[in-house]
Structure 1
Amino acid sequence: MPHVTSFTGDAKPYREGAEPYADYRRAETLPFDQLVDLADRRLGGAVVAANDEFFAERENLLVPEPAVFAPERFGHKGKIMDGWETRRRRGVDEETPHPEADDHDWALIRLGVPGVVRGLVVDTAHFRGNYPQAVSVQATTAPASASAEELLADDVEWIEIVPRTEIGGHAANAFSVDVERRFTHLRLNQHPDGGVARLRVYGEVAPDPEWLDALGAFDLVALENGGAVEDASDRFYSPPTNTILPGRSRKMDDGWETRRRRDKGNDWVRYRLTGQAVIRAVEIDTTYLKGNAAGWAALFVQDQSSGTGEWTQILPRTRLLPDTVHRFLVDTPPSTHVRIDIFPDGGISRLRLFGSLTADGAKALAERTAELSG
């Protein structure tokens, strides 16, 4: 179970007037950081419960933005931190003032979408001398609406995906996970106490095939339904994964935007659908992209299950308007992948591809889910 980074021990104390992130410790790249954050609040992730949140609330763990440090901000309980922070643990009496070796605090996290976890980041940003000495992470599969009491019941099987490992303060502590199982909930343990700013859970979405079968037609590229971004020409201003998040874009950087091109090329994103499917309707949304929306767009499909690898155009190059939802009815062959080309550059906020899985696509998804369920 590789600890991708090797940060341990305290960070230096904060110096008044310094840039809070100047000495923050993190890896330049991670092997899994292009995957979706399964615990993203925008997908429905939540911290269901924690045994202690005396100094800072558990909900801060899943805030999408980086943790903020306000040096002058104090409350009646002490320093106000942007993270989850518990009180200091103590022993039972004056003869044993220190906590026992197994003493720890915990938080229960419901993933926004079920999936296979490939990596985690336990971020202790701004927790310089008050971070946990070590962390461990367990995972289980339960109904999305399971309560804390149900998750903590004796008959719930928790599988360790990160063993107890020492971490560092003011650092992005990263772990690779090699457990080929579909999970819905995590238990983050900090030993013996302390604070964690953020938790990121990178992985691959594994949707419920029975639910999708009941829906019949649905958005085949949506993250919550198992769609994914495989590659893109440009990620300069914002990631292409934003285009398949739930709901409408709320601001300009909530979509995908590229740098300005100075050549004769164009930008593109390649998506993998939930499974082999037939697309019947397309929605290309440029909401909040007013002076930087793509000028034109074209769509192509590919069926990798057939082994041909050929791209078939389903939407010719079409003019896009800024800050507008564009809708098209299409007639497509069975496909597993879609590529959107935008001309010459700019961005879109959302892409929706409505349709249904083929019989082969539904069968493959059901078999994969059964395999991941053990």
Structure 2
Amino acid sequence: MIDTYANGGLEFERFPDLALRSLGGSVTHANDELFAERENLIKPEPSRLLTSFGNKGGHYDGWETRRRRGPGHDYAVVRLGVPGVIHGVVIDTAHFLGNYPPYVSVEATSVAGYPSPPELDNAEWVTIVAKTEAKGGVANGYACTDPQSYTHVRLSIYPDGGVARFRVHGEPVVDPRFLHGTLDLASLENGGRVVNCSDTFYSSPTNILLPDRARDMGEGWETSRRRDDGNDFAVVRLAGAGEVRHVEVDTSYFVGNAPGWIRLLGAQVAESRSTPENWFELVPRTRVCPDTRHRFLTNGSAPVTHVRLDIYPDGGLARLRVHGELTAAARAAATTHWFNTLPQSHARLVLAGCGVDAADAAHAVSERPYATPQTLADSFEDMLPALIGQPRPPVSDPSKQD
């Protein structure tokens, strides 16, 4: 089974953290951050214990509000780096022992564009974690079962207190209108995801799919030292079936611990199967250098849904880029999945932008989920090109015909 990779002890932690600052996440606003800034919530590194003091008291590597003396509660709103279906959240209260919130809740919303804080406060919010108990000094994990995709989450703490980190683990669901042309099929921001890995001793392989270049070795993936004849590997499920043109294997900052060689395999896996078969070489076993960005042309032109990066025998990488184009069928499938997971209000707004009137849009949304791209196409007819970001074909003017 390939869908077995987990970065931690909780099942949903096998999915990437969609809120990470390094993935483009942002804490748009909070109602209070007197003692410690809201931006700390989505830092990629674990919270540190600070021992210094300032004019407002002890410094904390997290978000902390003042003590409430009246009714109400505090909250912070996070814009996800990539929209997605949320499978679980971690509310980490590390180092907050006498000042952690005894209860927490999480809500989510999906909003088009780039709304302001007041617009977000007035959005339609859905509870994905009901008000529940939290403990101090630990990573509190809560599974989520809502099947819709969201763009923002709101963390509420009752009545006040501090949270070190807020992790939002889920499956990226990317707007297919941005998936045209040659793109990085493995990137998290395009819907790629690590689904299996041999070793996560030092760091997560999800790091190699982040959009920007690594700033140091800690922002890559590194395995433990092998003492046998095997090798380490990571399997990536791509944004969809695509034709791979060229790849980049980046060992930047890995000086004494880069792999000696790499190999990249590809395979196409049907939706009904979970195990790739008939792997073939995209890049044969090739020597790589420390602290170097390597670019390789690929051998195959057949579409692949998964790639397997083998490193020999072990070591670390900063980034993996898999550049190519999605097939038409994959883009249609991505459109169907995206439209099926949109909350109702967002789905109706998308259809309105394609010229569908309110009544037809409401009916189309009520008919979800659409089983296949063809059923979606049959429902929208000439609106489908606009839905996936393609211009509609021009309508001929009978008056100008010969």
Question: Shorter-chain TM-score: what band?
Answer: 0.7 to 0.9
Give 1:197's match in structure 2, choosing from 159, 164, 167: 164
Asked if the contact 2:64/2:163 (under 8 Å) is kept, the reply is: yes
Counterpart of 1:37 in 2: which secondary structure?
A: coil
Give 1:212's match in structure 2, choosing from 155, 167, 179: 179
Deviation by residue 1:32-84 (Cα, 9 ceiling, x = unmatched): 2222110000011111001111111111111222222223x222222222211
Asked if the contact 2:234/2:310 (under 8 Å) is kept, the reply is: yes
Give 1:225's match in structure 2, choosing from 179, 187, 190: 190
Tell which deviates more after alignment, 308-317 or 271-280.
Answer: 308-317
Counterpart of 1:364 in 2: which secondary structure?
A: helix
Q: CA separation in 1, counterparts of 2:279 and 2:138?
A: 44
Deviation by residue 1:306-332 (Cα, 9 ceiling, x = unmatched): 867211112111111111111122232
What amino acid does structure 2 have at the position aligned with 1:54? L
Q: CA separation in 1, counterparts of 2:113 and 2:79?
A: 7
Q: Match for residue 251 of structure 2?
A: 286
What amino acid does structure 2 have at the position aligned with 1:292? N
Structure that is richer in helix per residue:
2
Asked if the contact 2:231/2:314 (under 8 Å) is kept, the reply is: yes
Unaligned runs of 5+ in 1: 1-27, 92-98
Give 2:95's match in structure 1, choosing from 103, 106, 126: 126
- Are 2:62 and 1:62 equivalent residues in the alignment? no
Counterpart of 2:335 in 1: which secondary structure?
A: helix
TM alignment of 1:257-268, pairs within 5 A: 257-268=222-233
Identity of aligned residues (%): 52
Q: Match for residue 159 of structure 1?
A: 126
Over aligned residue pairs, what C-alpha RMSD do you find? Answer: 1.5
Q: TM-score, normalised by structure 1?
A: 0.86
What amino acid does structure 2 have at the position aligned with 1:177? C
Q: CA separation in 2, counterparts of 1:168 and 1:346?
A: 37
Q: Match for residue 89 of structure 1?
A: 68
Counterpart of 1:263 in 2: which secondary structure?
A: coil
Q: Match for residue 57 of structure 2?
A: 78
Counterpart of 1:305 in 2: which secondary structure?
A: coil
Deviation at 1:199? 0.5
- Are 2:75 and 1:106 equivalent residues in the alignment? yes
Deviation at 1:121? 0.8
Q: Match for residue 44 of structure 1?
A: 24
Q: CA separation in 2, counterparts of 1:332 and 1:44?
A: 32
Give 1:337's match in structure 2, choosing from 306, 319, 324: 306
- Are 2:297 and 1:326 equivalent residues in the alignment? no
Counterpart of 1:282 in 2: which secondary structure?
A: strand
What amino acid does structure 2 have at the position aligned with 1:368? H
Runs of at least 4 residues off by over 3 Å? none
Deviation at 1:219? 0.1
Q: Match for residue 283 of structure 2?
A: 315
Tell which deviates more after alignment, 301-310 or 40-49.
Answer: 301-310
Q: TM-score, normalised by structure 2?
A: 0.80
Give 2:242's match in structure 1, choosing from 277, 281, 294: 277
Deviation at 1:144? 5.0
Q: CA separation in 2, counterparts of 1:178 and 1:109?
A: 19
Deviation by residue 1:192-231 (Cα, 9 ceiling, x = unmatched): 1111111111111111101113xx1100000111001111
Q: CA separation in 1, counterparts of 2:284 and 2:252?
A: 21
- Are 2:30 and 1:30 equivalent residues in the alignment? no
Counterpart of 2:270 in 1: which secondary structure?
A: helix
Asked if the contact 2:220/2:319 (under 8 Å) is kept, the reply is: yes
Counterpart of 1:69 in 2: which secondary structure?
A: coil
Counterpart of 2:13 in 1: which secondary structure?
A: coil
Give 1:169's match in structure 2, choosing from 126, 129, 136: 136
Q: CA separation in 2, counterparts of 1:238 and 1:162?
A: 28
Q: CA separation in 2, counterparts of 1:108 and 1:146?
A: 12
Q: CA separation in 2, counterparts of 1:193 and 1:262?
A: 50
- Are 2:204 and 1:239 equivalent residues in the alignment? yes
What amino acid does structure 2 have at the position aligned with 1:314? L
Counterpart of 2:90 in 1: which secondary structure?
A: strand
- Are 2:270 and 1:305 equivalent residues in the alignment? yes
What amino acid does structure 1 have at the position aligned with 2:65? T
